[in-house]
Chains A and B, each alone.
Chain A
């Protein structure tokens, strides 16, 4: 399909911190008409007759008039919208799955999937964005998803910028010393010893790494992490999901192979959103349906960022267990040794010895024993030991994080050169790159700053 600036575009955006809500945003001439085709509400009022910046409640339906999800529609008529075009936002609350389906419906009805940054690009091309939103625009256009754009736009003005400026200042201080000793070798300068500069660079690099780590954790708190509960049949996976969700979400029976299709649920543990899936028990089976279920279990394993492996303490470890552990290589795993209310046939020690795995927690899903310990374990594994209060942290966006990663790499390279006592031009080359990279975050870079620094600090002559 030929992409054109007059197409009506659509994309999913999810509000940060509310993973359970999906937003589909439409922009362009056809966005109102298109929404009317798929949206139903009791009073049958037309969207085109709504006031701009008003909301309405109703349902999205598919071709067969079957309900997909209940939604809230927000209308922003042109030209007073983000893109200066007609914009419709569909807020669904059925999570990503519903959002996906709604987006699909929009496409079927004539919208095109937006390219990364396309909403902002339109805002810019239509002349809506002014200089005060300047740096955010660059972010927006560079960023991959509409989502990170928003974060960038919020962040760029405030604390991130201040923090980056501070880091740049610290790099500049080191650069000034290095450069002065190159250009004013004949002068009687009181330059800071090389070892001290090296220490300073190490400190700066640490500060950058902290920002990177906070971003990772912030990302988890905002968007949650994917968790899969796996294990062989009948070990109590569904029971565990239910006890974690505090409701009867999955069917539990004493028959091995009860769960066939995976059951997904979003729940909060210690403030962290988990997109958790109870999967079919893994074993070699001839049953076609069960086989498909098992295949799906493996897919979940590869998709998830954390795996909870359930084992039955009341039975012997067998080949099935071993094969599953094999499959989990390289994953973050917590092992739940279940059914400790019954006679212990397999012990924690045994598992530890056999699989060389450490995070083993004894629980009873049925009697709700050890579940609090499991929840704590999940939290520390995901966010680390120390308290993490997102409000007090600076959370950079994805693009910024990538720049920070590059900058951190440059500083590491500089530290290596300084450790080897290589002369000033080597670390200086790295530091300048890091300095300029950070400047990309705040949108400014000049060499004059270094010179001004030298002249301000040292007394230099001809």
Chain B
């Protein structure tokens, strides 16, 4: 650990949500003297909305974070109360874990990890101002005391100018019952950052004792759940079920009749109605033909009777929320313990960041998490770990790391939000990923290993490489029928009908465990489909190699559309690959751009 005065740090992380926790841990674990500043010691790694982690796209993200040495996967494995493998009706490449965690325990376990982390100080304090301090930054708190940090990670989630609302009421708040942050966004605006406004909604919670589970469907957990972390196995714990009910005709009519009492109509808001995760009032008005809307009744923890009504996101006033619930099967007598509400908050327009999550404007200031316009704990944690690793590297004046699109979901996430921007909270989905058969759950470790090597975990990376060499060798030997005639076996794998005997033959011949076997089977089953993606990755790499000169004048290029020039000037992409993914940039513009760059370099060569 560096020798620094007490209030001076290599890295300071502001905000102890999912992004902040991963950032602080990654930085401290990388050896930087790190401070994690939180508004309250009692609100660390909270799960204010749905307490589920994982699912399509997000489950893969958790695995990638785990492979990078992050905490979210391990913490879920410690605190889950219901876990299921999703997409089992699909092929093995798309299967992914989704777990519901015990909210209180999740918080407690994460706090313990933070408290016991070497190099890391966890302190309460509301940062109001960031100032330049030589080549460092001075973080001034509301009480005017301050910290000095070389690198800063801002991970303040939805707290910047947070406002909550239900019905016609609105209140300044980060979340229900928590203070928001007003001064920091003002300070950031003063030093040149631009913000937009986003919105999301939460559902009401009800008392378990008042729910009638008899006539509604049960959704069972998996008896033998798969863990998120590569290091963990099922510990035999008891799990809880979910239940499923529906909003049907009578209730829909009631909602339609009371539509005007939703904040959407009562309060003027700057943000757009989100298409994804819309409120129940929005769903009902947008999908008039739907006869029913599904509601999950999920436990919030083992030590509480509160149940979370997933699907019932709303900004209705409390009386209407009660009216809705009374009209839902199983909830006729249910008592609301806390009503749902909407949140509107400032987000940083993410185009102001580089793909290492560092600000384009200020060296050593990083932004991570929901502040960048994303939604979801997994998305936040993913940015947190990248920002944390990089802040730490920068604190040692070392070169930063980054993940590209072709590396995995985290790369896709960062590339998407920075280059495409967001108009509503960005959530990861497998459909966003053009390499989704290759970017899987099972191979997250090898995909992230190049980063491990860069941050000094050579040994761990070598172990991972060995594992995949073994799988690759088995694969090529099977294809060559080296040990047995495998033609039929390959066909059986493709048709999902490989016999137990043959499974054992393969496992024994190549000395594979179940996870390795699974990866091998996927390689065989998806062969040509995977090859397509891998070919595309190669093509991608050549595009990313094509660098755009820093001093390029886009105005000078003939025939590039106005929208494209606007985007290009705004984002200053570093490579042709990035340029091609900007909004408003069409293939033709790229073509002109490439021609221009080539021509320019030809001419400069001629003149030399």
A451 CB contact (under 8 Å) in B56, B93, B431, B586: B431
Known: A130-B559, A426-B529, A429-B437. A188 touches B310 (CB 8 A): no
Q: Mask for B331-347, Cβ within 8 A of A = 1, else 0?
A: 00000000000000000
What residues of B have a CB within 8 angstroms of the CB of A59 in the complex? none
Of A32-40, A179-187, A209-217, the stretch lying at the interface with chain B is A179-187
Contacts of B420 in A (CB 8 A): 448
Q: Given B49, B437, B587, which contacts A425 in the complex, CB threshold below 8 Å?
A: B437
Report if A455 contacts B (CB, 8 A): yes
A68 within 8 A of B: no
Interface centre among A127, A445, A451 (most CB of B within 10 A): A451
B91 CB contacts on chain A under 8 angstroms: 422-423, 425-426
Query: Are B276 and A455 neighbours in the complex by a CB distance under 8 Å?
Result: yes
Segment among A132-140, A144-152, A257-265 that sits at the interface with chain B: A132-140
A459, CB-defined interface residue at 8 Å: yes
Counting CB contacts under 8 A, is A116 at the interface?
A: no
Task: State how many angstroms separate the Cβ of B362 from the closest Cβ of chain A.
Answer: 31
Whether B398 is near chain A, meaning CB under 8 Å from some CB there, is: no
Alpha-carbon distance A32/B160, docked complex (angstroms): 71
Residues in chain B near residue A49, CB distance under 8 A: none
Smallest CB separation, B285 vs chain A (Å): 11
Chain A-chain B contacts (Cβ-Cβ < 8 Å), number: 112
Contacting chain A: which of B126-134, B286-294, B386-394?
Answer: B286-294
Decide yes or no whether B90 CB sits under 8 A from chain A: yes
Task: List B contacts of A182 (CB < 8 A).
Answer: 56, 87, 90, 94, 430-431
What is the bound-complex CA distance between A186 and B290, given in angstroms?
Answer: 17
Q: Which of A131, A184, A187, A188 contacts B559 (CB 8 A)?
A: A131
A357: Cβ under 8 A from any B Cβ: no
User: Is B532 located at the chain interface by the 8 A CB criterion?
Assistant: yes
With beta carbons under 8 angstroms apart, the residue of B278, B294, B588 that contacts A137 is B588
Within A438-462, the residues touching B (CB, 8 Å) are 440, 443-445, 447-448, 450-451, 454-456, 459-462
Contact A183 B430 (CB under 8 A): yes
Q: Which residues of A contact B436 (CB under 8 A)?
A: 425
Q: Does B275 contact A (CB under 8 A)?
A: yes
Cβ contacts under 8 Å, A127 to chain B: 558
**B86 interfacial contact with A, CB 8 Å:** yes
A124 within 8 A of B: yes
Assess whether A459 is in contact with B87, with CB atoms less than 8 Å apart: no
CA distance A127 to B559 in the complex (A): 8
CB proximity of A187 to chain B, nearest CB, Å: 7
A308 to B248, CA, bound (A): 73
B599 touches A444 (CB 8 A): no
> Are A444 and B587 CB-contacts (below 8 A) given A188-B292, A426-B529, A450-B431?
yes
Taken together as a complex, chains A and B put the C-alpha atoms of A438 and B420 apart, in Å, by 23
Q: In the complex, which residue of chain A has the Cβ closest to the Cβ of B412?
A: A447
B50 within 8 A of A: yes
The answer to whether residues A124 and B55 also contact, given A447-B431, A447-B434 and a CB cut-off of 8 A, is no
Residues of A within 8 A of B286 (CB): 459
Instruction: Check A183 against B246 for contact (C-beta < 8 Å).
Output: no
Assuming the contacts A182-B90, A185-B86, asked whether A459 and B432 have C-beta atoms less than 8 A apart, the reply is: no
Instruction: Name B532's contact: one of A138, A433, A440 (CB within 8 Å).
Output: A433
Contact pick for A183, options B93, B293, B429, B588, CB 8 Å: B429
Expressed in whole angstroms, the Cα–Cα distance for A216 and B223 within the complex equals 60
Q: Is B561 an interface residue (CB 8 A)?
A: yes
Residue A129 lies at the interface, judged by CB distance under 8 Å to chain B: yes
List residues of A (391-441) whose CB comes within 8 Å of B's CBs.
Answer: 420, 422-426, 429, 432-433, 440
Residues from chain B with a CB closer than 8 A to the CB of A134 are 559, 586, 588
Distance of A323 Cα from B427 Cα, bound (Å): 72
Judge whether B57 is part of the interface by a CB distance below 8 angstroms: yes
Q: Which of B87, B432, B591, B595 contacts A185 (CB 8 A)?
A: B87
Given A423-B90, A424-B90, A462-B277, also A447-B432 (CB < 8 A): yes
* Pick from A129, A422, A444: contact of B586, CB under 8 Å: A444
Shortest CB–CB separation between residue B47 and chain A, in angstroms?
12
Residue of A nearest to B219 (CB): A186
Q: Which residues of A contact B49 (CB under 8 A)?
A: 462
Residues of A close to B532: CB separation below 8 A: 429, 433
Contacts of B57 in A (CB 8 A): 183
In the complex, the answer to whether A124 meets B90 with C-beta atoms within 8 Å is no
- Residue B89 interfacial (CB < 8 Å): yes
Seed contacts A137-B591, A141-B591, A462-B427; 18 additional CB < 8 Å A-B pairs: A124-B559, A130-B558, A135-B588, A179-B430, A183-B56, A188-B246, A425-B529, A426-B91, A432-B434, A443-B586, A444-B586, A447-B434, A454-B431, A459-B278, A459-B287, A461-B313, A462-B276, A462-B313
| Cβ contacts A to B, 20 pairs, < 8 Å | A124-B559, A124-B595, A125-B599, A130-B558, A131-B588, A138-B588, A141-B591, A183-B429, A186-B296, A190-B290, A424-B90, A425-B90, A425-B94, A440-B587, A443-B586, A447-B432, A459-B286, A462-B50, A462-B310, A462-B313
